[in-house]
Amino acid sequence: MAKSTLIRNKSQIWSLDLIIGIVIFFTALILFYKYSINTMDIERQDTTNLLLEGKLISSYLVSEGNPVDWTLDNVTSIGLTNGNMDINTEKVNEFSELAILDYPRSRKLLSTINDYYVFFEDKNNNTIKINGVEWIGKDYTLENPTNLIKIIRFVNYNSTIIRMVVYVW
């Protein structure tokens, strides 16, 4: 009779142990879902901010800038066109030089804290050099950014419609 008592005691479940186990399991489950939802919200917010920054930068660049005939010494707002969406090659050279000499200042003039990369393409996706300038900004391929936004604006260059491509990260 002593043997049957031992076997019956091995298969017993204590209700307090079961309740503690369920509480720990559900707490871990709730924390997991809460953390994963917050992570997705942060990434979505970062992407939205980058998209807004990209649109802002591209809007500045398709404007004529301030003053209209700005140079490195007097620029308050960078713009690469004549106001009618025609690329001004002198402004492209000035912008390239500014980005090379003082990249943080160029970001400030574009009202962004993010990095940017600007280049021009023809209708066949070939990169166009404007007065020897192939691209302006920081090369995103060297940075390997987590979030990268691409904005395309159409401008005129030598009586041809081309794309101005702006990457922001």
- Segments of the chain with pLDDT less than 70: 1-13, 38-45
- Please state the length of the chain: 169
Amino acid letter for position 38: N
Three-state secondary structure along 78-129?
A: CCCECCCCEECHHHHHHHHHHHHHCHHHHHHHCCCCCCEEEEEECCCCCEEC
Number of domains in the chain: 1
Q: Which of 83, 90, 86 is nearest to 63 (CA)?
A: 83
Q: Give the pLDDT confidence of 9-47 residue by residue, as tens digits.
A: 555 667 778 788 889 998 998 888 777 776 665 566 688
Range of the structural domain that residue 153 is part of: 3-168
pTM of the shown model: 0.72
Measured in whole angstroms, the distance separating CA 116 from the mean position of its chain's CA atoms is 9
